[in-house]
Structure 1
Amino acid sequence: MASKMLKFVDVPQRMPEKRDAEDRRDDFNEIYARFQPKDAAVQAARCSQCGVPFCQIHCPLQNNIPDWLMLTAEGRLEEAYEVSSATNNMPEICGRICPQDRLCEGNCVIEKGFEAVTIGSVEKYITDTAWEKGWVKPPKPKRELAQSVGIIGAGPAGMAAAEQLRKKGYQIHIYDRYDRGGGLMIYGIPGFKLEKDVVERRTKLLQDGGITYHLNCDIGSDVTLAALRERHDALLIATGVYKARDIKVPGVGLGNVVPALDYLIASNRKGLGDAVPAFEDGSLNAEGKNVIVIGGGDTAMDCVRTAVRQGAKSVKCLYRRDRANMPGSQREVYNAEEEGVEFVWLSAPEAFTGGDKVEGVRAIRMHLGVPDATGRQMPQPIEGSSQTLEADLVIKALGFDPEDLPALFGEKGLEVTRWGTVKVDHKTMMSKLDGVFAAGDIVRGASLVVWAVRDGRDVAESIHRFIQAKADGKPADTKAGDKSLAMAS
C-alpha cells in the first residue's frame, strides 16, 4: 500500500478532461471525458487510506471507497469493480450524477489543504471499463423460486430492489406507466449529466436476467393494486414523487409558465427521438426565448443548462437565498455559470406579468433573517425592492410532492403521511397493507438517486424475510428480529 497510495502530498487533484463551455453548449453529450487508465490509477493513489473513512461514512450506500481506490491504483480493475458493485447496483450512474461535493468527496479527509480524491470520476471509470470488458453480468440466481414480487416503478429504487430479489431467485415483475424503464433517470435527468444509453443498458441487463417489465401500465386504471396483490406474493411501491410544487402568485396560470418536469421530459423525449408536439410548437422549447428558472436545487440546474443547449436568448436562475445556502450542487452551479447562465440570488417572484403568455417576472429582493426550525436562515422581502425581469418562458423548479396514491391506485387502505408519502413501519418498510412495501422517494420525499438505491436494497431484504417467514409459517416481524439480533452479535 505504501508504495502505491498516500500520493496526495505530491500529486495534485485532477478531474477528467472537461469539454470547453462553448463546445458543450451545442449538444447534450456528457461534459466530462473518462479517465485514461494511468490517470485513474494516479488519482486513486491520492487516497490517504485513513483509519476512519469519512467518504464511506457519508455515502448513503456505505460504499467501500478506500478499497476500490487502492485496487484501482494497483491496476486491479476487475477486483475494484467487484468491490464497487457489491454495495451499489448502478455505480456508473452514481459516479455521474451523485453530488459528490456534498457526499463522499466533500467529506474526504484530505479535502482541506490538498483537495479531495476524485472519487466519482474513478467510480465512473471503473464501471464503464467493466461494461466494456464484459464483467457486468445479468443477475443470475443459484436456484429459481416459485414466489413472485411485483414492483410498481422502474426507477432506481425499484430497479435496485428488483436486482437484489432476482439474485435470490424470485420472479420479478416491474410495472411502470412510462414507455421506458429508468424513471427520472431516463426522462428527468438531462443527457449532459447522464447519457441515456447508460440507463438503457442497465435496464436491459435486468431484463436479460429474467426480470419482466410491464411498461405503459397505469396502476389503478390498467390494473388495480388489489389485483396485483392477488397476483404476487409481495408488492413494492417505488413510484417516486412526480407532483410539481407550485407557487401562489398572480399570473401563475399564464401561458409559458411551466413545471420543470414537463420541460425536462419533453427535452429528453426529443433527444431520444420521440415525437413531442409541445416541443415542436415551442411551448416546451427554450429556443430564442428569455428563460427564467425559479428554484435553487439540482432540478433547477438541469433546467437552466438544458435551456442553454436549446438555444435560449438568455437564461436566468431566480433563487430566494444566496449561493452558500442553495440546496443544489455547487459543481453544477459552476458548470452553469461557465455555460452562460446568470444567477439572480436573493430574489423571489412576486408576480408573472403578461397577456395570454408570460412576458416578465416581477421579483423582489430578499435578505436572510433568523434561522427557522431546520437551522436555515429564513428569506425576508426587502420592501420597495421589486424589479421586473423579461421572460418568454418561466420554468418552476420548486421541488416535488407525492401524488395521491390511495386515489390513484383505487386503494383507500393504503395509508399516507400528512405529506402524502406512503406510511411504513421503518423497521420492515411494510405499509399498513400486509405484504405491500414502499421505498425510495415515495417514503422519504424527493431525494437523491443514491438514496433510492440504498432504500431499494434495504427493502429487498425486508421483502425476502417476509416471503420466507410466510413460507415457514412464522410471523415476518419475528424473522426480521431474529436476523437483526444475529447481525448485532
Structure 2
Amino acid sequence: MAKQPMLKFVEVERAMPAKRDASLRNKDFQEIYAEYAKAKAQEQASRCSQCGVPYCQSHCPLHNNIPDWLRLTAEGRLKEAYEVSQATNTFPEICGRICPQDRLCEGNCVIEMSGHGTVTIGSVEKFITDTAWDEGWVEVIKPRVERTESVGIIGAGPGGLAAADVLRRQGIQVTIYDRYDRAGGLLTYGIPGFKLEKPIVMRRNEQLAAGGVTFRLNCTVGEDISFQEIRDAHDAVIIATGVYKTRDLQGPGSGAKGIVRAIDYLTASNRKSFGDAVPEFDNGDLNAEGKKIVVIGGGDTAMDCVRTAIRQGATSVKCLYRRDRANMPGSQREVQNAEEEGVVFDWLTAPKAFKGDTVTGVIVERMRLGLPDATGRQSPEVIEGSDYVEDADIVIKALGFEPEDLPKLWDQPELAVTRWGTVKAEFTTGATDMPGVYAVGDIVRGASLVVWAIRDGRDCAEAILQQLNAAGVVAAE
C-alpha cells in the first residue's frame, strides 16, 4: 500500500521558507524570504488535513482550490498543481507573496485551530507558480477564436489586468488605458521590491501584451483622451482606476515642506529600482538617507514606508499609530519584519501639530482606547497634557486612500458614486447604471486587497462575456 501523502501535520512541524537575516536584508530591496526547495514544498503541503469543509478555501476571496493543489504538490505533481491554482487565480505568484494569508486562508486553517500550526499556503502557492515560470508551463494567451467585440479597461492595476486576462482568453479585443508609463498600478509603483520584486510583475505584463492585449500607457483619461471617446471605441468599458487620493493630515503646520504622501514616496523609490531619473529622490525630498523619518499610519502602506526608509539609510524610523498593536489594520507579520529591521513603533500616539516651515518635528499626543465606535473598535481618546516632540526631517502620511472625483475629472456627471466617492456598481458583475460601463476593485470597494481586485476583475469579465454572448445570439437571430 502506498504511503499516505497527506495528514502529516502531527509529525511534521510548520516551516516557513528561510528568512534572510535582518541585518543584511534591511540594506537592499530583494525579497526577504527564500524559495522552498521541491522536497520542502512537498513536505509542507503534506501537512494539509484535507478538510471536508476547507475554511482556507472559503475565506479566500478567489475561493482557490487550496486543498487540491496542496495535495498535488505533496504528490510531486507540480504542473497539475499549477493548473489547478491558475484556474481560479490570475496571478498566484503575486498573491503568494503579498496576500495577508495570516488574515485569510492561513488564518482559518483547521490544523492551526487545533494547535498544530497552519499550513504555509502562501509560500507553497508562490513555489508552484515560480516553478511553472521556470519550467515554461506559463504560456502566452492564444484564443481559439478571435472575436470582433472590444473592451476598454481604464487602469492597469490588478483588477484591470485580471479582467484583461479573462477576456483575451475568450478572443475579446482588449485595450488598457493607464496614466503611468508601466502597467501594474500599485503592484509596480506602490509595493516595494522586498515584498514583490518588479520582474515578477513585468513578466505578467509582457505575457498579456504577447497575448494580444493593447496597452495605452502615459494616457490620462480626461486629459489625453475623454471617457466618452473610450466608450465610443468599445462595446464595454471597465473602470479599474483604484484609489490614489491621500487622506490628509490636520493640525497646525500640516502643510509644511517635508510632509509627503506615502504614494509619492513609494513611487519614487520604486522608480529608482527601475533605473529611472527621479529628481525628487536625488535632491533628497523623497529620499530617507541620513534623515529622521516619521511615518503616520498603521496599515500595510505604512509598513511599506517604514521598511523602505530603513533600506534607504535613515538614521531613525518611527511609526506613529493611534491605536495599540492588537488593533492596527496592517499585517502582524509585516510589523514583526519591520521591528526586526530596526523600525520603532510608538503605539497609542497621534500627531497634534508640526514644527517648522520645513518640518523639523511632530508634536505628538498620547492616546488611550475608550468605548467602541460604530465598527466595534475601541475609539482612541487623547490623554491631556501628554504631548511630546518627535524630531523629524521627513514625515510620511500613510493614512489610507480615497477615490478621486471621477464624475468631475471625466466630465461624466451621470456616473453615479456613493457618499464616499466610490463608483456605484452591482455586486459580482461590476455593472454601473451607465449602459456598457462596469467598475471593479478599489474604485468600488475603497482601499482593499489585491486579491479582492483580482476577484472583481475576473467576475466582471465573466459578466461582460455573458452580455456579449447574449447580444451575439440576438444579432444572429
Q: TM-score, normalised to structure 2's length?
A: 0.98
Report if aligned partners of 2:324, 2:347 keep a CA contact under 8 Å in 1.
yes
Answering whether residue 259 of structure 2 is matched by residue 257 of structure 1, we say: yes
Unaligned runs of 5+ in 1: 475-489
Q: C-alpha separation between the residues in 2 aligned to 1:8 and 1:323? A: 30
How far the C-alpha of 1:409 sits from its partner, in A, is: 1.5
Which secondary structure state, in structure 2, belongs to the residue aligned with residue 288 of structure 1?
A: coil
Give percent identity, aligned residues only: 66
1:197 maps to what in 2?
Answer: 199
How far the C-alpha of 1:299 sits from its partner, in A, is: 0.1
Q: C-alpha separation between the residues in 1 aligned to 2:327 and 2:427? A: 30
Deviations 1:159-201 (A, max 9, x none): 0000001111100001101000100000000000000000000
Distance 1:168 1:363, change over 3 A: same
Answering whether residue 330 of structure 2 is matched by residue 337 of structure 1, we say: no
Deviations 1:351-381 (A, max 9, x none): 1112x21111111111111111111111111
1:358 maps to what in 2?
Answer: 359
How far the C-alpha of 1:2 sits from its partner, in A, is: 6.5
How far the C-alpha of 1:435 sits from its partner, in A, is: 0.3
1:206 maps to what in 2?
Answer: 208
2:274 maps to what in 1?
Answer: 272
Answering whether residue 436 of structure 2 is matched by residue 435 of structure 1, we say: yes
Answering whether residue 379 of structure 2 is matched by residue 378 of structure 1, we say: yes
2:41 maps to what in 1?
Answer: 40
Distance 1:309 1:241, change over 3 A: same
Q: Which amino acid aligns with 1:408?
A: L
Report if aligned partners of 2:429, 2:459 keep a CA contact under 8 Å in 1.
no
Which secondary structure state, in structure 2, belongs to the residue aligned with residue 451 of structure 1?
A: helix
Deviations 1:420-474 (A, max 9, x none): 1111232542112110100000001100000000000000011112222333349
Which secondary structure state, in structure 2, belongs to the residue aligned with residue 367 of structure 1?
A: strand
Distance 1:2 1:62, change over 3 A: farther
Q: Which amino acid aligns with 1:443?
A: V
1:53-452 mapped onto 2 (5 Å cutoff): 53-112=54-113, 113-354=115-356, 356-426=357-427, 428-452=429-453
Report if aligned partners of 2:292, 2:316 keep a CA contact under 8 Å in 1.
yes
Which secondary structure state, in structure 2, belongs to the residue aligned with residue 7 of structure 1?
A: coil
Q: C-alpha separation between the residues in 1 aligned to 2:428 and 2:126? A: 33
Which secondary structure state, in structure 1, belongs to the residue aligned with residue 367 of structure 2?
A: strand
Which secondary structure state, in structure 2, belongs to the residue aligned with residue 110 of structure 1?
A: helix
Report if aligned partners of 1:15, 1:121 keep a CA contact under 8 Å in 2.
yes
Aligned residue pairs, count: 473
Report if aligned partners of 2:428, 2:460 keep a CA contact under 8 Å in 1.
no
Which secondary structure state, in structure 2, belongs to the residue aligned with residue 420 of structure 1?
A: coil
Q: Which amino acid aligns with 2:56?
A: C
Report if aligned partners of 1:296, 1:328 keep a CA contact under 8 Å in 2.
yes
Report if aligned partners of 1:260, 1:300 keep a CA contact under 8 Å in 2.
yes
Q: C-alpha separation between the residues in 2 aligned to 1:196 and 1:247? A: 31
Which secondary structure state, in structure 1, belongs to the residue aligned with residue 444 of structure 2?
A: helix
Q: Which amino acid aligns with 2:394?
A: L
Q: Which amino acid aligns with 1:31?
A: I
1:17 maps to what in 2?
Answer: 18
Distance 1:427 1:296, change over 3 A: closer
Deviations 1:239-281 (A, max 9, x none): 0000001121111111110010000000000111000000000
Q: C-alpha separation between the residues in 2 aligned to 1:346 and 1:170? A: 52
Which secondary structure state, in structure 1, belongs to the residue aligned with residue 350 of structure 2?
A: strand
Report if aligned partners of 2:428, 2:459 keep a CA contact under 8 Å in 1.
no
1:469 maps to what in 2?
Answer: 470
Report if aligned partners of 2:32, 2:194 keep a CA contact under 8 Å in 1.
yes
1:482 maps to what in 2?
Answer: none
Q: C-alpha separation between the residues in 1 aligned to 2:335 and 2:308? A: 13
Q: C-alpha separation between the residues in 1 aligned to 2:469 and 2:23? A: 57
Q: C-alpha separation between the residues in 2 aligned to 1:383 and 1:223? A: 53
Q: Which amino acid aligns with 1:385?
A: S
Report if aligned partners of 1:256, 1:394 keep a CA contact under 8 Å in 2.
yes
1:6 maps to what in 2?
Answer: 7
- What's the C-alpha RMSD, in Å, of the aligned pairs? 1.0
How far the C-alpha of 1:25 sits from its partner, in A, is: 1.1
1:453 maps to what in 2?
Answer: 454
Unaligned runs of 5+ in 2: none
Which secondary structure state, in structure 2, belongs to the residue aligned with residue 149 of structure 1?
A: strand
Q: C-alpha separation between the residues in 2 aligned to 1:420 and 1:392? A: 33
Q: C-alpha separation between the residues in 2 aligned to 1:137 and 1:457? A: 19
Q: C-alpha separation between the residues in 1 aligned to 2:270 and 2:186? A: 10
Q: C-alpha separation between the residues in 2 aligned to 1:14 and 1:425? A: 42
1:480 maps to what in 2?
Answer: none
Q: C-alpha separation between the residues in 2 aligned to 1:302 and 1:7? A: 35
Which secondary structure state, in structure 2, belongs to the residue aligned with residue 383 of structure 1?
A: coil
Deviations 1:96-117 (A, max 9, x none): 0000011111111111311101
How far the C-alpha of 1:142 sits from its partner, in A, is: 1.4
Q: C-alpha separation between the residues in 2 aligned to 1:223 and 1:253? A: 33
Q: TM-score, normalised to structure 1's length?
A: 0.95
Q: C-alpha separation between the residues in 2 aligned to 1:99 and 1:39? A: 22
Q: C-alpha separation between the residues in 2 aligned to 1:458 and 1:167? A: 14
Q: Which moved more, 1:421-430 or 1:146-155?
A: 421-430
Which secondary structure state, in structure 2, belongs to the residue aligned with residue 437 of structure 1?
A: strand
Q: Which amino acid aligns with 2:112?
A: E
Report if aligned partners of 1:435, 1:466 keep a CA contact under 8 Å in 2.
no
